[in-house]
């Protein structure tokens, strides 16, 4: 399963040792790290970037820049996570999505992440939680997980379905309404349809970004295949097939609504 994993550490030494262990797991292909960043919390909502790696982190600020001053979109699930922590714009989420989706995530992370502590944020494929947890426990890593990308997809679908149900209900009301009430009902339908058009545009934009991010991950796995032994190549190839299946499914529910 692809997760966002946030591990917090009390000091840079433990965080660096933890980061090296995570890289070891990735080399062994016990996990697949797509993107990662290491940040230091300098104040509430402000972070210093210490390390970043992966295709979706290329547009993030240079090492040492404060994430709280970010302007513009951040890429992929890592960008969503950093955007939630800092209050910066989230690359594929509007403000309402941010309010709905980030509150629980923020609460859980902030319980573990104090001022001057270090966090490693991973966009990672893991078969179970034990591997990362067991490797980071000796370094006092405190871990929070979320399947952020999947949660946004689910949220999009729920919001789309809700809008369509509201439109259908108002159209049903219109059929039996008195003449004096029809104008108000028609205005509500028009407003809902405008919201629906805006929502579907955001969903389609998000789906396009998601497809791009998945394709980058596939390309990254192709690079790993070139330098891996035969045992690891089989595991990497299997992971690549999972990603290709995920790529094919992105937005299929929304797309079917417009078939």
Closest CA to 120 of 35, 27, 56: 35
Q: Is the pLDDT of residue 67 over 70?
A: no
Which contiguous run of DSSP H or E holds residue 34?
strand 32-43
What is the pLDDT averaged over residues 245-252?
A: 74
The chain-wide mean pLDDT, for the chain, equals 75
Residues in contact with 189: Cβ distance below 8 Å, sequence separation at least 6, in sequence order = 167, 170, 171, 174
What contacts 171, CB < 8 A, 6 or more positions away? 189
| Dihedral of the alpha carbons of 112, 20, 220, 211, in degrees to the nearest 10 | 0
- pLDDT, tens only, 134-150: 888 888 777 777 776 66
Task: Report the C-alpha gap between 221 and 226 in whole angstroms.
Answer: 9
Q: Report the DSSP pairing between strands 2-9 and 32-43.
A: unpaired
Q: What is the mean pLDDT of residues 66-89?
A: 55
Least confident of 16-30, 182-196, 235-249: 235-249
Q: Check whether 27 has a pLDDT greater than 70.
A: yes
pLDDT of the residue at 219: 86
Q: DSSP characters for 103-164?
A: HHHHHHHHHH--TT-EEEEEEEE-S-SHHHHHHHGGGT-EEEEE-HHHHHHHHHHHHHHHHH
Top-confidence range, 149-153, 160-164, 227-231, 252-256? 160-164
Query: In degrees to the nearest 10, what's the CA dihedral of 35, 93, 41, 214?
Result: 0
The reported pLDDT for the residue numbered 171 is: 92
Per residue in 33-61, pLDDT (tens digit) is 888 888 888 877 677 888 877 765 655 55
The average pLDDT across 103-128 equals 78
Q: HSE-up of 194 (CA within 13 Å, CB side)?
A: 6
Name the most confidently modeled range: 71-85, 181-195, 199-213. 181-195
């Amino acid at each position: 399963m692809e997760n966002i994993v946030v591990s917090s550490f009390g000091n840079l030494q433990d965080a660096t040792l933890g980061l090296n262990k995570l890289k070891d797991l990735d080399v062994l292909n016990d996990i697949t790290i797509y993107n990662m960043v290491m940040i230091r919390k300098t104040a509430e909502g402000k972070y210093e970037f210490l390390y970043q790696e992966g295709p979706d982190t290329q547009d993030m600020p240079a090492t040492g820049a404060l994430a709280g001053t970010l302007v513009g979109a951040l890429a992929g699930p890592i960008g969503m996570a950093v955007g939630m922590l800092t209050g910066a714009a989230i690359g594929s989420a509007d403000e309402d999505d941010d309010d709905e989706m980030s509150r629980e995530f923020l609460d859980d992370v902030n319980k573990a992440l104090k001022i001057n502590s270090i966090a490693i944020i991973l966009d990672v494929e893991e078969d179970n939680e034990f591997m990362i947890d067991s490797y980071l426990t000796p370094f006092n890593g405190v871990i929070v997980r979320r399947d952020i990308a999947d949660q946004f997809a689910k949220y999009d679908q729920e919001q789309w379905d809700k809008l369509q149900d509201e439109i259908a209900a108002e159209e049903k009301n219109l059929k039996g309404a008195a003449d004096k009430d029809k104008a108000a009902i028609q205005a509500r339908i028009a407003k809902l349809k405008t919201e629906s058009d805006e929502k579907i545009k955001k969903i389609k934009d998000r789906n396009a970004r998601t497809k791009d991010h998945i394709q980058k991950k596939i390309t990254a796995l192709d690079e790993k295949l070139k330098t891996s032994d035969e045992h690891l190549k089989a595991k990497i190839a299997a992971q690549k097939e999972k990603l290709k299946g995920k790529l094919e499914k992105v937005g299929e529910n929304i797309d079917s609504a417009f078939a």
